[in-house]
């Protein structure tokens, strides 16, 4: 226990000398068994205090002004305190060190929980020579016994208490408070109820005959206790078959925790037309049973697509195709998607009603039972060769699809261009110029045996001739040997050097021939000679 006192002008401890207030100096700490000095005059007195309790502290206060001693009631009473710190709780108590007769004073307590405590009881005995005045919070008072009962204190929680009494006789008032803490050990048992729910579905309510039918079953423990020995029994209806050959399929799920779900998928085949309902039952040893069903309509449906188009066309020309999609079944198809894909050697020009992305045209439509719809596509050939234009039609709802193609032979054709320029124009008599003759195949196919003949006028004299083929000179004429194959976009070139010999308008003439040219193509260039 710790006790704090202030030395006032009264007897404090047995064996201590009485000191007046005027003799106390400034506040100082007194060590046990050591001398300390009190002096406010030339006279000095040295005292040796007995060793105090290890749980007690002495507090001194600053020396007041040197005046006559005041009555006891006007003095600072100081405080005394003590504490007990045991196990689950700590109790601290404080009270004035001195009080006046018939003047109420307070005992103050602080209860501190050192752990969670269910119940704490604090008891105080009112000392003889005092009477009870009040308590905060209100305590149970029986005779001289004052009791506070506190419930459910949390770790670290502080609760202040106060007891007010009035001294009725001059005496040393000693009182001791006690505290008792009641820990607890608790258990909670929950009573739960397991409950099963089952949901059965199928992705498609309508399916084609002889196609697969998946049944999805979900079992859930919707209760708050485990369900034991859970078993699902799925009974297939007539018109639906399982690869095992059994119509009753059993799946053991074991234990389902509260809120837990398990999924089962039963794969079957639609074997007969009509409506078929599948019932699933879930049972358990402690959660009862539940059922659910799902139904399908087995139908016969069909989808067909055909395509026809231009069998032959020239490169860079347009070819047209017609697509026909037909519902060959007995139910409506509401999600038919027709996709036409043009090969990279062609360019998609138009597809009315379609969504076009590059060389792909897509139509989305519906077809009633037995209904047909047609779609048009036009393309341009970019290069020679045979290329096929493919189309597909599908109905995802019933897993239907079909495809077809139409092929076109794209033929190229040559397109020869002859150009003649003179490098020097006009000329003075005696000057030379070079005639550059260029032949370009601007077409999409090769031409063969492309030849060139050149004729110079009388005002020019032939100097030399050269080119991509050998030239034969005869007077003022040059005949170049045929160029065997002039491919599409290929260019060949010839050069003829001539000298001006007479003033006038000299007309240089060139003539181009090939296997595909029915008539030779002439070209000329005028050169002025001065």
Residues 6+ apart with CB under 8 A from 287: 194, 195, 196, 221, 223, 227, 228, 230
Provide the strand spans (E) within 328-427. 333-341, 346-350, 355-357, 360-367, 372-381, 385-395, 400-411, 416-422
- Range(s) for CATH 2.60.40.10 in the chain? 196-299, 416-529
pLDDT of residue 83: 85
What is the per-residue pLDDT across 68-95, written as a single tens digit (0 to 9) for each?
444 444 456 788 888 888 789 999 999 9
Structure-model confidence comparison of residues 192 and 53, the more confident one: 192
What is the per-residue pLDDT across 459-512, written as a single tens digit (0 to 9) for each?
999 999 999 999 999 999 999 999 999 998 999 999 999 999 999 999 999 999
Residue pair 359/347 in contact by the 8 Å Cβ criterion: yes
pLDDT of residue 191: 86
Residue pair 254/229 in contact by the 8 Å Cβ criterion: yes
pLDDT of residue 397: 85
At the top level of CATH, which class does the domain 196-299 belong to?
mainly beta
Q: Where residue 49 falls among pLDDT bands split at 50, 70, 90?
A: very low
* pLDDT for 46 beyond 80: no
- Range(s) for CATH 2.60.40.290 in the chain? 303-411
* pLDDT for 2 beyond 50: no
Q: What's the CATH code, domain 303-411? A: 2.60.40.290
pLDDT of residue 187: 81
Q: Are strands 206-208 and 289-299 parallel, antiparallel or unpaired?
A: parallel
Distance CA 5, CA 81 (A): 8
* Angle, CA 125 vertex, CA 123 and CA 128 arms, to 5°: 175
Q: Are strands 248-256 and 274-283 parallel, antiparallel or unpaired?
A: unpaired
pLDDT of residue 301: 85
Q: What's the CATH code, domain 416-529? A: 2.60.40.10
Residue pair 350/392 in contact by the 8 Å Cβ criterion: no
Fold held by 79-182: Immunoglobulin-like (2.60.40)
* pLDDT for 373 beyond 90: yes
pLDDT of residue 76: 66
Q: What are phi and psi of 292, to 5 degrees?
A: -160, 160
Distance CA 495, CA 438 (A): 9
Q: What 3-state DSSP class applies to 105?
A: strand
pLDDT of residue 75: 57
């Amino acid at each position: 226990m710790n006790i704090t006192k202030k030395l006032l002008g009264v007897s404090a401890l047995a064996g201590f000398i009485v000191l007046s207030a005027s003799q106390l100096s400034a506040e100082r700490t007194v060590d046990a068994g050591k001398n300390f000095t009190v002096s406010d005059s030339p006279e000095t007195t040295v005292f040796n205090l007995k060793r105090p309790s290890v749980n007690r502290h002495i507090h001194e206060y600053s020396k007041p002004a040197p005046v006559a001693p005041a009555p006891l009631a006007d003095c600072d009473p100081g405080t005394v305190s003590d504490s007990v710190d045991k196990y689950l709780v700590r109790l601290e108590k404080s009270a004035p060190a001195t009080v006046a007769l018939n003047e109420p004073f307070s005992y103050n307590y602080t209860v501190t929980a050192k752990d969670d405590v269910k119940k704490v009881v604090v008891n105080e005995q009112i000392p003889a020579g005092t009477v009870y005045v009040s308590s905060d919070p209100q305590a149970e008072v029986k005779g001289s016994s004052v009791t506070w009962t506190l419930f459910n204190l949390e770790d670290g929680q502080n609760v202040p208490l106060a007891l007010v009494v009035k001294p009725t006789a001059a005496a040393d008032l000693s009182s001791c408070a006690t505290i008792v803490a009641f820990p607890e050990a608790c258990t909670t048992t929950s009573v739960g109820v397991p409950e099963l729910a089952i949901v059965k579905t199928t992705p498609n309510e309508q399916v084609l005959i002889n196609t697969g039918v998946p049944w999805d079953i979900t079992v859930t423990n919707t209760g708050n206790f485990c369900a034991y020995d859970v078993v699902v029994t799925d009974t297939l209806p007539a018109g639906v078959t399982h690869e095992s050959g059994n119509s009753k399929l059993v799946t053991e799920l074991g234990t389902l925790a509260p809120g837990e779900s398990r999924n089962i998928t039963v794969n079957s085949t639609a074997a007969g037309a009509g409506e078929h309902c599948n019932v699933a039952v879930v049972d358990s040893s402690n959660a009862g049973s539940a059922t659910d069903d799902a139904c399908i309509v087995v139908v016969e449906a069909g989808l067909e697509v055909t395509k026809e188009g231009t069998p032959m066309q020239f490169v860079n020309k347009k070819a047209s195709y017609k697509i026909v999609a037909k519902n060959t079944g007995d139910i409506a198809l509401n999600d038919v998607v027709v996709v036409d894909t043009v090969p990279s050697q062609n360019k998609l020009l138009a597809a009315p009603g379609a969504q076009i992305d590059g060389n792909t045209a897509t139509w989305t439509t519906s077809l009633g039972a037995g209904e047909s719809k047609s779609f048009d596509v036009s393309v341009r050939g970019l290069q020679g060769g045979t290329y096929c234009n493919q189309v597909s039609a599908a109905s995802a709802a019933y897993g239907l699809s079909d495809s077809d193609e139409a092929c076109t032979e794209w033929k190229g054709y040559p397109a020869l261009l002859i150009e003649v320029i003179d490098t020097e124009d006009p000329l003075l008599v005696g000057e030379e110029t070079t005639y550059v003759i260029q032949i370009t195949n601007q077409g999409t196919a090769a031409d063969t045996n492309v030849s060139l003949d050149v004729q110079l006028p009388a005002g020019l004299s032939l100097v030399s001739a050269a080119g991509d083929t050998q030239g034969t000179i005869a007077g003022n004429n040059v005949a170049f040997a045929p160029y065997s194959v002039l491919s599409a976009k290929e260019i060949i070139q010839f050069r003829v050097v001539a000298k001006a010999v007479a003033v006038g308008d000299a007309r240089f003439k060139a003539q181009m021939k090939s296997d595909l040219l029915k008539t030779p193509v002439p070209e000329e260039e005028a050169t002025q000679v001065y």
